[in-house]
Structure 1
């Protein structure tokens, strides 16, 4: 039972490794684009599971106890809280973390260049249109891919 609480390194290394791993993964996900945050497909779930398993060693190394992983998670949660706190108080930092929306549909016409850049298929946009009760983009003034990966549609007034 004593081995459960023993650490292979100083306690703070687990906290720092958790925080650095969180920031690294956040950066990679941000570089991957907005699409990865929207609808989760089976492929996205597999990527998330593999990333979590792969990064385990980055956070706790070879530590076999129970305390190390909890310290790593504490570092992740503290970093997440710090980023959220900073994002609510510093607008440019929030934009850096969150990103900007991308205009997919303008005045009833899709922008294939933006859709390709965002790795968004026509089928995904069609699903968003249908979910909004629209058959096609003709009645859309603006359709945006939001930083959180969701598609927002603004209908043309009648």
Structure 2
């Protein structure tokens, strides 16, 4: 139960490889994977977890092995958070940046198609911002998958503050 069946260094190595590979895959899959989850997105995340579990532990069934793999994943996550908080370039590479999806009351359909965002999500963000589409100055798809709306009045406020 407490005795490792594999070399101690193999589990952190496996965990690191899986962590980096999933980070790249999720980053490449787009903002919807990390933003607002639909039931289908949640299913994909759950299946991802299941699909890599045997690769992560390499058949290791001991408690120590599981804790070692978990500690490695948490450490990698903290390391990435630390590095991205200190480097804007790394943060942009890993997390992405905001994308303009609407301007001056017009929704940019090409941007919505490119990032696979339904118009209904933009309409929902407009309602949450208590903003008519005609009052929208800018709409952004944020790096975390959320949609931000700037009203015409708030855009004027920011311009006068400069």
Coarse TM-score class (shorter-chain normalised): over 0.9
User: Runs ≥4 in structure 1, deviation > 4 angstroms?
Assistant: none
Structure 1 residue ranges without an equivalent (≥5): none
Give distance in 1, aligned partners of 2:36 and 2:88. Answer: 26
Give 2:135's aligned residue: 139
Per-residue Cα deviation, 1:51-98 (whole angstroms, up to 9, x for no partner):
001110111011122221211111111111111111111221111111
CA distance in 2, matches of 1:45, 1:91: 29
Aligned to 1:148: 144
Equivalent residue, structure 1, for 2:28: 31
Whether the 8 Å contact between 1:88 and 1:94 is mirrored in structure 2 is yes
Aligned alpha-carbon RMSD (Å): 1.2
* Cα contact 1:105–1:137 (8 A) shared by 2: no
* SS of corresponding position for 2:100: strand
The alignment of Structure 1 onto Structure 2 pairs a total of residues equal to: 154
TM-score normalised according to structure 2 size: 0.90
Q: Alignment partner for residue 69 of structure 2, among 26, 51, 72?
A: 72
Q: Any stretches of 5+ residues in structure 2 without a counterpart?
A: 157-162
